[in-house]
Chains A and B, each alone.
Chain A
Amino acid sequence: MRPFLYQRATDPDMAVQALGAAAAANNPLTQATAQPLAGGTTLIDLMKLDVMRPTAIVDINPLAQGWSAIEPDGENLRLGALAKMSDVAVHDEIQRNYPVIANSLKLAASAQLRNMATLGGNVMQRTRCSYFRDVSYENCNKRNPGSGCAAMDGVNRMHAVLGVSDQCIATYPGDFAQALIALDATVEITGRSGSRSMPFAELHKMPGSSPDIETTLQPGELISAFTVSGRWPRSVYLKARDRQSYEFALSSAAIALDVQDGTIREARVALGGVATVPWRAREAEALLKGQRFDDGLAQRAADAAFADARGRRHNSFKIALGKRVVARALQQAVTMEI
């Protein structure tokens, strides 16, 4: 860890000014010299590892009063970016009308981390790629652009099979983002020139030729809230992992369905643990929509979700695993009692 200036932002303007002022425009946000601090569960970790080396930390926790509300109004949902993962996970109405959100949060990290971590920080969580997190490996295009990718032909069991490029195969590690992307959430962003909104699906960027650029956020911008239209009581989050708790997904599926009279009117399928970004499986959704559910349909949808998957030495198993997880999650969603 290297010395840094600690600032405490008492209002959003102060926060975005402090963040925007210090960050040179041409910096990718991940390497900006000023970084916002919320729960700190990723940032502090990466600073200790010398992976992130900000010279200024802007503590945005004082903004929690305005930015941490959990507001389901019966039809729509608004979640403040500084709401704690643990508070949202146990919220009655979230559990009832958005089980995919509640469960994606409950199955993430540990109780201690969920008590610290915020929703906004969680979706910005950076990859757990071992080579990215260890600065003694030179070859990491994400950390050290143009240096190559040590994971490509290294130990890559945890790595992505979807959304990969020849520059980077690092997995997006979170759970909650899959729920958001499945539910077509909108993200609200506050910046120096005011606020804007965009589909959550447009927040993360696939690695392509510049894996160091991970999101479309601009320097000085902060996520202030997420919104979801409608209620999704028929939704599940299924997560397969090596341990029973406190472990990242090898494969996960966020599923939300609207089933009426046995016909799937609306289907949402998102994948975690297998892709470089929160992954929406629209091909699978298209297959499901308007159909009556059976196991064969679930299988075809799962196959479609992974049609473009590319495995490497240690992670090819994720393709077969991911398909089984999607099929099983679909079965669970169809048969759940609501």
Chain B
Amino acid sequence: MTAAAPEPKANMGQPVPRYDAHSKVTGRATYASDMPLANPAYAFLVTSAIAKGRVDGFDLAEARAVRGVIDIVTHENAPKLKESKLFSNGGYAGTTIQPLKSPDIAHDGQIIAVVIAESYEAAREAANRVKVNYTVAAPSATFDSPGTTTAAAKGQNSQFKEDPKVGDFAKAFAAAEIQLTAAYDTPTQHHNPMELFTTSCAWIGDDLVIYEPSQYVHGLKNGVAEQLGIDADKVRVVNPYVGGGFGSRGSMTPRTAIIAGIARRLNRPIKLVATRDQGFTITTYRAETRHEIKLGASRDGKLVALRHEGAEVSSRPDAYCVGGTKTTTRLYACPNVDSLVSIVRADRNTPGFMRSPPEVPYLFALESAMDELAVKLDMDPVELRRINDTTNEPIGGKPYTSRSLMACFDEAAKAFGWSQRSSQPKSMAEGDWLIGYGCAATCYPTQMGPAAARVRLQRDGRTRVEIAGHEIGTGAYTVIAQTAAERLGVPLEKVAVFIGDSDLPPAPVAGGSNSTASTCSAVMMVCDQIRQRLFKAVMPDSLTDKAKETVGISQAPTTQAAKSNRPLDIEKAFDALGVSVVEEYGEWKPEGAPLDSFKAMHSGHVRLVGGHQMQDKIAYAFGAEFVEVRVNRFTHEIRCPRLVGAFAAGRIMNPRTARSQLMGGLIWGMSSALLEATEIDERNARYVNDNLADYLVPVNADVPGVEVILLSEQDDHINPAGAKGLGELANVGTNAAICNALYHATGQRIRKLPVRLENIEV
């Protein structure tokens, strides 16, 4: 499948090729474990083969005898580390389970020893020869396992403050003309970014450099410093490229401080490359969830009552939850809403962010239920959404800053050929294959956080932009370069961008799809500071005042004021200033950001604002997704030949990179419906398919047709860049669209993911 970059529509940037395209396809891009180290030692992890219990002892004789082994670090001799609070609880860590602190084991695959050797091969061999004696306790694996405990999320998770509700759900539901109650399940999933979970640590005196794929270099820097008990200024995290993140690298994992501590003791750089299967247990994951949806509607399709109850698995010590009811209770007009989120504690590692953490599981439930309601009403599911579309969210009544949901439905429906769909299930077929069409809404909160940037402009137009953003494959380099080029009026090829280094001005975590909005808004602001200095040098005061207007953060560069200042001759301005370089630093924060924003930014704490948490308004990006599924009437194999999505997300900075993000999201969404699930052996709470052969993701043959439509949308109420995050927009709703299409193909409603051929009865 090939396709040209989309032509920009109104309020879209140019589809310039990726800033880093050449580096990446020629292999010159340097990832964390590519960084050269002087005389490194190599670490290999030993992880627990039990999920609960303790290590009684090690037999290390055979392992120590392997030539080249330097040390084997266990809880008996590990460097002492300080605790770090959970990321979602104001700390840095993805889990508070700290390995090597004691002989206790809290989850499958917990780090129980680190072998250090002169070579990777020796470290691996010795790790294979480590013998462990365990006392095994019976673990609780997941929902329904003996020994789990369940409690409401509210009150135990500091991020989950309220179960949204409005009106009188019970009364309205009881009185509703049409009632629907349905339960849905989503599975455990793992991010499996292509780049493995590596960590290299090198000490230069008291200074520590960490090369590690991270979605938050300032968070990791501060977190590791906290664990080591050293000044954060002594720690630098570097990763100019990250081979995929998907949320797995937003919070600190225990491995980093462990490796740093061992490197300090050994007085030698250490390089760790954890294996693929270790990646399943030493980092976070998307926990399995369960849902019950109740919808009450009038005969004409108007929602009168909605209740969403969700349950999520977390670890024993940490109350992580995604709580997607904040979105599902606000998506459609409905006067009576109720919700409840619970956390089920099991003997598992702490789950964490995974691409659209709340929306993927929770919208699967809601958007499946909406389709079921449409069937009950004998109504086109697109029309059901139209009837319940709204300009204000129902919980607090706040207006959406912009909402192009139905425009997306209409565009996508047209491109997909929705009108060709026969409304009856099991009514379309070709040869051995039953055909089904399905659709669902997608949405994702628009978020941004405080960010700082430094921009240097030279007399010849060469520009250097520094901001500790993250290139996780999304196109961060590209859109930051475009922003600076546009704002300063210099050619794109003269802009050099430096990101992925905690010595650079801080930017938020590359999570919650805030990066483009946050980093580009900061870069815009600092570019305007430079413009202002140049204006001042060459312009009469009256014009300078006018130019000042362009510094105002709500002005887009196309305004009259900016246009009138375009003829600025940069060289003349530099001559007037009497310098050859102008450099500016600035710190930007979004409207409504908390007072401690900048302080928090420097200490590696995230202060995202947006979504439903804005004052007097609510900001989301929207989309609509249509899929065609085919079910083989003999083998029951399920294939998805077509995915069509239309999306509106404010200003599209670069239609090429945006399309790539959304295309990847659609494919991921299909994958989460049909392929991806981490299998748990419930007897021992261990993952079974912890590798990329058995944890299925799509291959090219599985995605023959993916079409992305970008809608033009202008939103002046969100951030200076006018951009809504779209990195996590497209993989929401796809899972529901697939199941809705499967219903159309087979007449069978499937409410549990992933859908396997054995779940199909035709």
Whether chains A and B associate is: yes
Chain A residues near B702 (CB-CB < 8 A): 243-245
Interface: B562 (CB within 8 A)? no
Interface residues of B in 666-691 (CB under 8 A from A): 674-675, 679-681, 683, 688-690
Chain A residues near B637 (CB-CB < 8 A): 240-242
Type the 1/0 row for A304-325, where 1 means its CB is closer than 8 Å to any CB of B.
0000000000000100010011
Q: Are A1 and B756 in contact (CB under 8 A)?
A: no
Type the 1/0 row for B20-40, where 1 means its CB is closer than 8 Å to any CB of A.
000000000000000000000
Interface: B430 (CB within 8 A)? no
Assembled-state Cα–Cα distance A18/B383 (Å): 73
Q: Are A242 and B701 in contact (CB under 8 A)?
A: no
Decide yes or no: A242 and B756 within 8 Å by CB, A1-B124, A154-B688 being known contacts: yes
Assembled-state Cα–Cα distance A150/B682 (Å): 12
Interface: B698 (CB within 8 A)? yes
Output the least CB separation between A314 and chain B (Å). 9
Decide yes or no: A130 and B689 within 8 Å by CB, A242-B675, A243-B701 being known contacts: yes
Type the 1/0 row for B698-718, where 1 means its CB is closer than 8 Å to any CB of A.
111110000000000000000
Assembled-state Cα–Cα distance A91/B700 (Å): 25
Assembled-state Cα–Cα distance A27/B637 (Å): 42
Output the least CB separation between A322 and chain B (Å). 10
Assembled-state Cα–Cα distance A324/B632 (Å): 11
Q: Are B49 and A137 in contact (CB under 8 A)?
A: yes
Output the least CB separation between B695 and chain A (Å). 10
Chain B residues near A317 (CB-CB < 8 A): 757-758
Chain A residues near B121 (CB-CB < 8 A): 1, 3
Q: Are A321 and B635 in contact (CB under 8 A)?
A: yes
Q: Are A154 and B681 in contact (CB under 8 A)?
A: yes
Type the 1/0 row for A1-38, where 1 means its CB is closer than 8 Å to any CB of B.
11100000000000000000000000000000000000
Assembled-state Cα–Cα distance A246/B681 (Å): 25
Interface: A92 (CB within 8 A)? no
Chain A residues near B47 (CB-CB < 8 A): 136
Chain B residues near A327 (CB-CB < 8 A): 634
Q: Are B758 and A154 in contact (CB under 8 A)?
A: no
Interface residues of A in 231-288 (CB under 8 A from B): 238, 240-247, 250-251
Chain B residues near A69 (CB-CB < 8 A): none
Interface residues of B in 7-57 (CB under 8 A from A): 47, 49
Q: Are A244 and B639 in contact (CB under 8 A)?
A: yes
Identity of the chain A residue whose Cβ is nearest the Cβ of B759 in the assembled complex = A317
Interface: A205 (CB within 8 A)? no
Chain A residues near B701 (CB-CB < 8 A): 243-246
Contact of B681 among A3, A155, A250 (CB under 8 A): A155
Chain A residues near B696 (CB-CB < 8 A): 242-243, 247
Type the 1/0 row for A116-135, where 1 means its CB is closer than 8 Å to any CB of B.
00000000000010110011
Assembled-state Cα–Cα distance A130/B757 (Å): 20
What number of A residues sit within 8 Å (CB to CB) of B?
36
Q: Are B693 and A321 in contact (CB under 8 A)?
A: no
Interface: A294 (CB within 8 A)? no
Output the least CB separation between B727 and chain A (Å). 25
Decide yes or no: A130 and B688 within 8 Å by CB, A2-B125, A247-B696 being known contacts: yes
Identity of the chain A residue whose Cβ is nearest the Cβ of B694 in the assembled complex = A130
Assembled-state Cα–Cα distance A240/B639 (Å): 12
Interface: A73 (CB within 8 A)? no
Interface: B277 (CB within 8 A)? yes
Interface residues of B in 634-670 (CB under 8 A from A): 634-637, 639
Decide yes or no: A242 and B757 within 8 Å by CB, A154-B681, A324-B635, A327-B634 being known contacts: yes
Chain B residues near A3 (CB-CB < 8 A): 121, 125
Assembled-state Cα–Cα distance A128/B700 (Å): 23
Assembled-state Cα–Cα distance A135/B634 (Å): 37
Assembled-state Cα–Cα distance A327/B693 (Å): 29
Chain B residues near A59 (CB-CB < 8 A): none
Which of B680, B700, B702 has its CB near the most chain A CB atoms (within 10 A)?
Answer: B702
Which of A1, A136, A324 has its CB near the most chain B CB atoms (within 10 A)?
Answer: A136
Identity of the chain A residue whose Cβ is nearest the Cβ of B640 in the assembled complex = A244
Interface: A184 (CB within 8 A)? no
Interface: B128 (CB within 8 A)? yes
Output the least CB separation between B26 and chain A (Å). 21
Assembled-state Cα–Cα distance A15/B444 (Å): 62
Interface: A289 (CB within 8 A)? no
Interface: A50 (CB within 8 A)? yes
Identity of the chain B residue whose Cβ is nearest the Cβ of A317 in the assembled complex = B758
Assembled-state Cα–Cα distance A137/B700 (Å): 33
Assembled-state Cα–Cα distance A134/B277 (Å): 10
Chain B residues near A1 (CB-CB < 8 A): 121, 124-125, 128
Q: Are B757 and A321 in contact (CB under 8 A)?
A: yes
Chain B residues near A154 (CB-CB < 8 A): 681, 683, 688
Decide yes or no: A321 and B683 within 8 Å by CB, A2-B128, A240-B757, A244-B702 being known contacts: no
Assembled-state Cα–Cα distance A130/B693 (Å): 10
Output the least CB separation between A206 and chain B (Å). 24
Chain A residues near B49 (CB-CB < 8 A): 136-138
Assembled-state Cα–Cα distance A238/B694 (Å): 21
Identity of the chain A residue whose Cβ is nearest the Cβ of B50 in the assembled complex = A136
Assembled-state Cα–Cα distance A210/B459 (Å): 79
Q: Are B757 and A250 in contact (CB under 8 A)?
A: yes
Output the least CB separation between B413 and chain A (Å). 26
Identity of the chain A residue whose Cβ is nearest the Cβ of B129 in the assembled complex = A2
Output the least CB separation between A253 and chain B (Å). 10
Identity of the chain A residue whose Cβ is nearest the Cβ of B632 in the assembled complex = A240
Chain A residues near B432 (CB-CB < 8 A): 328
Identity of the chain A residue whose Cβ is nearest the Cβ of B132 in the assembled complex = A136
Interface residues of A in 123-177 (CB under 8 A from B): 128, 130-131, 134-138, 150, 153-155, 157-158
Interface residues of A in 68-97 (CB under 8 A from B): none
Identity of the chain B residue whose Cβ is nearest the Cβ of A110 in the assembled complex = B699
Decide yes or no: A321 and B124 within 8 Å by CB, A155-B681, A243-B701, A245-B699 being known contacts: no
Interface residues of B in 703-748 (CB under 8 A from A): none
Chain B residues near A244 (CB-CB < 8 A): 639, 699, 701-702
Assembled-state Cα–Cα distance A143/B57 (Å): 25
Assembled-state Cα–Cα distance A138/B686 (Å): 13
Chain A residues near B699 (CB-CB < 8 A): 110, 243-247
Q: Are A325 and B635 in contact (CB under 8 A)?
A: yes
Q: Are A155 and B688 in contact (CB under 8 A)?
A: yes
Q: Are A128 and B694 in contact (CB under 8 A)?
A: yes
Chain A residues near B679 (CB-CB < 8 A): 155, 157
Identity of the chain A residue whose Cβ is nearest the Cβ of B47 in the assembled complex = A136
Chain B residues near A134 (CB-CB < 8 A): 277, 688, 690
Q: Are A321 and B636 in contact (CB under 8 A)?
A: yes
Assembled-state Cα–Cα distance A239/B171 (Å): 53
Assembled-state Cα–Cα distance A126/B637 (Å): 25
Assembled-state Cα–Cα distance A246/B700 (Å): 10
Output the least CB separation between B345 and chain A (Å). 23
Output the least CB separation between A249 and chain B (Å). 10
Chain B residues near A110 (CB-CB < 8 A): 699
Chain A residues near B758 (CB-CB < 8 A): 317, 321
Output the least CB separation between B131 and chain A (Å). 12
Assembled-state Cα–Cα distance A138/B128 (Å): 14
Output the least CB separation between B449 and chain A (Å). 38
Identity of the chain A residue whose Cβ is nearest the Cβ of B122 in the assembled complex = A3
Decide yes or no: A243 and B694 within 8 Å by CB, A250-B757, A324-B634 being known contacts: no
Chain B residues near A243 (CB-CB < 8 A): 675, 696, 698-699, 701-702
Residues of B at the A interface (CB closer than 8 Å) are 47, 49, 121, 124-125, 128, 277, 432, 632, 634-637, 639, 674-675, 679-681, 683, 688-690, 693-694, 696, 698-702, 756-758
Known: A131-B688, A242-B696. 4 other contacts (CB 8 A): A1-B125, A130-B694, A134-B688, A243-B698
Sample of 20 A–B contacts (CB below 8 Å): A1-B124, A1-B125, A1-B128, A3-B121, A131-B688, A136-B49, A137-B49, A154-B681, A155-B680, A158-B694, A240-B632, A240-B635, A242-B637, A244-B701, A246-B701, A247-B699, A321-B635, A324-B635, A325-B635, A327-B634
The 10 closest A-B pairs by CB, nearest first: A317-B758, A240-B635, A245-B701, A244-B701, A136-B49, A328-B634, A155-B688, A50-B128, A155-B679, A130-B688
